[in-house]
Amino acid sequence: MFAEVVLAKASKFTDKIYHYSIPAELQPQVGHKVLVPFGKRKEEGYVVGFVEKADVPDVKEIYEIIGEQPLFNEKQAGLVKWMAEYYCAFLGTALKLILPSPANTKTLPPLPKGEGGNVKGERVRVLTPDQQKVLEKITKAIETKQSEVFLLHGITGSGKTEVYLQAAAKVLGMGRSALILVPEISLAPQIVERFKDRFGDIVAVLHSDLTLKQRREAGQRIKNGEARIVVGTRLSIFAPIDNLGLIVVDEEFETTYKSEQSPRYHAREAAIQLAKLHHAVVVLGTATPSIESYYKAKTGEYQLLVLPERIDNRPLPPVEIVDMRQDKSYLLSAKLREELYDTLSKGEQAILFINRLGYFTFLICQDCGQTIQCPRCAVSLNYDTSKKLLRCTHCGFSCEAKIICSNCRGSNIKFIGTGTQRIEKETADVFPQAKILRWDRDATAKRGSHDVFFAAFAEGKANVLIGTQMVTKGLDVANVTLIGVISADTALKIPDFRAAERTFQLLTQVAGRAGRHHLPGKVIIQTYDPANYAIKAAVTQNYEAFYEKEIQERRELGYPPFSKLINLILSGKDDSDTFKIASDLKGVLSRNVQGQILGPAPAAVAKVRGKWRYHILLKGQDIDEMRRKTLEAVEKVFSPREVKIVVDIDPI
């Protein structure tokens, strides 16, 4: 046997797998750090696998093994190798995702593993007939160790989490482990609480809001087998879990499952690949499946499971549209004010959703019409009323609100638009008795604040929650009876073929936060485009109607699921140089790649942190061939160090 070794300090030219022979006195395992000869030097590397045949005739021997314990396991290595190849990433970069931090190289002695399903003894809820049917199909696949993918399409409040809990209990009873993925940190507190109540201390939590020490401790508990259920965001896919039996991807449609840094992986696809390595079952759960996942379920690649009713047959909240073309006086329409007054009078809670930060969302010079933008990014500045500053949400630039127009040097600047802070002020002005909590990226910048905000609202310390996308998902508070969507049109105006899909998903998800328990709910959606099919389908929460309309448009335009996409993003300090290299790259691609090539065109945000951005979009059927030809084209085009080229496979 020969060891597959990846160098610890690989460059662009040495980032590959090298084969080394194994001396009789050494017994390396996958995950061991080793010292190997490389040219005339000695280099450190990591063993990522073994092969029976080397790819070169003269194979050098490993010098020694560094450290007693492997730093990662065979399944982790398999995931990383797949990820680097599929997403066109450097192996060394992908490998860092599974390497423990230097302070975590010391291994504790094995700890006793928890047995059985209900360690803490929380009452297991009686399943509805629909839940029971779903669970039976999942457990059958778990018992036979089939690497099966289920799409669990359950309307909001239909009890998907209870299915996850009982499926996890099944794998625990078989001596296996479970991984529960959530899309955002803001969703972690509630689902963690449910799993800890049911399973106790064998639950570990992993997400980016933890300190390094907390992440090291969680990783060690997982590696030693003390924690056999892992709940976390996309980074938990790389945890050192042994003998996985179940992976749940909750709200599988969420864009936050896609990494914006290399390797630009999607956690849903990585979860499916990891499950194949473990012979585990994957459950993709949501009320609003991605078009691609639902298409795969319809065509038989995934198994479709359905939960069509809420628990105890609770009705979905009635949804009312307010046409803001007819109600222009305030940010909160007369109807929303009326319903909010009624809700607060009864001692109940409300959520107001708007997909914008800040107070005003852009500024314009009334003398010449120029929009006031960030000097480093091609985006408008937001006004933060709490700090009396103008801020850029992309690069962090900030300045005082007293500004001069860069175009005409005038000072007649008008603040326009609506953000969470402005909604907060209007709500406070109209309802001075309201206890308001604003839950957005600005308010939750401090580590641990998500848990604090959720607890405060769940305990009734606030009766009006105002927030951005994080309030649309997973929030389950019994006293919430009113949802107000301030502007349903925001996501529709983004230049993206998924704009209608995201709008439908957002509206359906936020509407599902109301009336989830004993109290009936109501939803008010304010819009300037009430006839849009995504908004109309969200009003009735009719996913099938939306899917049929959307899949027809995707088919006609040749977008996923009817094609695969690769997005090439070029960025550089000089606009003309960056565009020229993008044009040269387009020329090479046109001669070599089968499929449609769009661009180069300015990116949606054409300038970020002082760098101009262009992108080229490839559409085709054979993703393997597209990847290979794309990498060849990138290698052929001369690109100075000042211009960076990013290859994004399956872009979001």
Q: Can you give the pLDDT at residue 447? A: 66
Domain of 638: which CATH number? 3.30.70.600
Count structural domains, the chain.
Answer: 4
Q: Can you give the pLDDT at residue 208? A: 85
Residue type, 576: S
Q: Same structural domain for residues 81 and 11?
A: yes
Residue 207 has pLDDT above 50, yes or no: yes
Measured CA distances, 149 to 102, 177, 269, 551, 561 (Å): 36, 17, 11, 21, 17
Q: How confident is the model at residue 418 (pLDDT cuts 50, 70, 90)?
A: low
Q: Can you give the pLDDT at residue 412? A: 83
How is the beta sheet containing 398-400 ordered, strand by strand?
382-384, 389-391, 398-400
Q: Same structural domain for residues 263 and 170?
A: yes
Query: Among 271, 206, 258, 194, which Cα is nearest to 474's?
Result: 194
Q: Which residue has the tokens 């007293």?
A: 402
In a domain, 122, yes or no: no
List phi, psi (to 5°) of 289: -60, 150
Q: Can you give the pLDDT at residue 513? A: 79
DSSP label of 374: -
In a domain, 29, yes or no: yes
β-strand partners of 384: 389
Q: Coil, helix or strand for 389?
A: strand
Q: Same structural domain for residues 477 and 340?
A: yes
The larger pLDDT score, comparing residue 309 to residue 368, is at 309
Q: Of 499, 528, 555, which one is at a domain's C-terminal end?
A: 555
Q: Same structural domain for residues 333 and 467?
A: yes
Across 453-594, the runs of DSSP E, i.e. the strands, are 464-467, 480-485, 522-527, 564-572
In a domain, 398, yes or no: no
Q: Same structural domain for residues 532 and 568?
A: no
In a domain, 176, yes or no: yes
User: In angstroms, how far apart are the furthest CA atoms of the chain?
Assistant: 83
Give me 610's structure tokens.
């002082």
Q: Can you give the pLDDT at residue 504? A: 94
DSSP label of 463: S
In a domain, 377, yes or no: no
Contact 59, 19 (CB under 8 A): yes
Q: Which residue has the tokens 């979001």?
A: 652
Contact 174, 327 (CB under 8 A): no
Q: How confident is the model at residue 381 (pLDDT cuts 50, 70, 90)?
A: confident
Q: What integer is the mean pLDDT of 251-278?
A: 96
The larger pLDDT score, comparing residue 269 to residue 214, is at 269
Residue type, 451: D
Contact 28, 34 (CB under 8 A): yes
Residue 493 has pLDDT above 90, yes or no: no
Q: Coil, helix or strand for 203?
A: strand
Q: Same structural domain for residues 165 and 65?
A: no
The larger pLDDT score, comparing residue 155 to residue 419, is at 155
The larger pLDDT score, comparing residue 174 to residue 439, is at 174
Q: What integer is the mean pLDDT of 48-61?
A: 93
Q: How confident is the model at residue 120 (pLDDT cuts 50, 70, 90)?
A: low
Separation of alpha carbons 207 and 215, rounded Å: 8
Measured CA distances, 224 to 204, 228, 608 (Å): 12, 9, 43
Q: Which residue has the tokens 């929460």?
A: 541
Model's pTM, two decimal places?
Answer: 0.89
Residue 455 has pLDDT above 80, yes or no: yes
Q: Helix count (H) and strand count (E) of the chain? A: 16, 27
β-strand partners of 599: none
Residue range(s) defining the domain that contains residue 73: 2-104
Separation of alpha carbons 372 and 273, rounded Å: 46
Least confident of 305-309, 457-461, 566-570: 457-461
Task: Work out the mean pLDDT of the chain and round it to a whole number.
Answer: 89
Q: Can you give the pLDDT at residue 105? A: 46
Q: Of 520, 555, 590, which one is at a domain's C-terminal end?
A: 555
Q: How confident is the model at residue 510 (pLDDT cuts 50, 70, 90)?
A: confident
Instruction: Output the DSSP codes for 3-41.
Output: EEEEETT--TTT-SEEEEE--TT----TT-EEEEEETTE
Residue 115 has pLDDT above 60, yes or no: no
Provide, rounded to the nearest whole percent, the portion of the chain with pLDDT above 70: 91
Q: What integer is the mean pLDDT of 158-185?
A: 95
Q: What integer is the mean pLDDT of 498-504?
A: 93
Q: How confident is the model at residue 385 (pLDDT cuts 50, 70, 90)?
A: low
Residue 107 has pLDDT above 50, yes or no: no
Q: Can you give the pLDDT at residue 122? A: 59
Q: How confident is the model at residue 358 (pLDDT cuts 50, 70, 90)?
A: very low
In a domain, 259, yes or no: yes
β-strand partners of 19: 4
Q: What integer is the mean pLDDT of 599-628?
A: 94
Please write the tens of the pLDDT for every residue from 18-37: 999 999 999 999 999 999 99
Contact 542, 339 (CB under 8 A): no
Q: Same structural domain for residues 6 and 50?
A: yes
Q: Same structural domain for residues 302 and 338?
A: no
Q: Can you give the pLDDT at residue 185? A: 78
Least confident of 101-110, 176-185, 547-556: 101-110
Residue type, 337: R
In a domain, 407, yes or no: no
Residue type, 426: E
Q: Same structural domain for residues 307 and 319?
A: no
Q: What integer is the mean pLDDT of 33-52?
A: 96
Separation of alpha carbons 98 and 215, rounded Å: 12
Instruction: Output the DSSP codes for 290-308.
Output: -HHHHHHHHTTSSEEEEE-
Q: What integer is the mean pLDDT of 285-296?
A: 97
Query: Which of 9-13, 120-124, 432-436, 639-643 ranks highest by mean pLDDT?
Result: 432-436
Q: Same structural domain for residues 626 and 592?
A: yes
Q: Of 526, 555, 584, which one is at a domain's C-terminal end?
A: 555
Q: Same structural domain for residues 139 and 222?
A: yes
Q: Same structural domain for residues 532 and 574?
A: no
Q: Coil, helix or strand for 645?
A: strand
Domain of 530: which CATH number? 3.40.50.300
Q: Can you give the pLDDT at residue 400? A: 82
Q: How confident is the model at residue 108 (pLDDT cuts 50, 70, 90)?
A: very low
Q: What integer is the mean pLDDT of 115-128?
A: 66
DSSP label of 164: H
Q: How confident is the model at residue 415 (pLDDT cuts 50, 70, 90)?
A: low
Residue 448 has pLDDT above 80, yes or no: no
In a domain, 187, yes or no: yes
Q: Can you give the pLDDT at residue 118? A: 52
Residue type, 341: Y
Separation of alpha carbons 121 and 413, rounded Å: 62
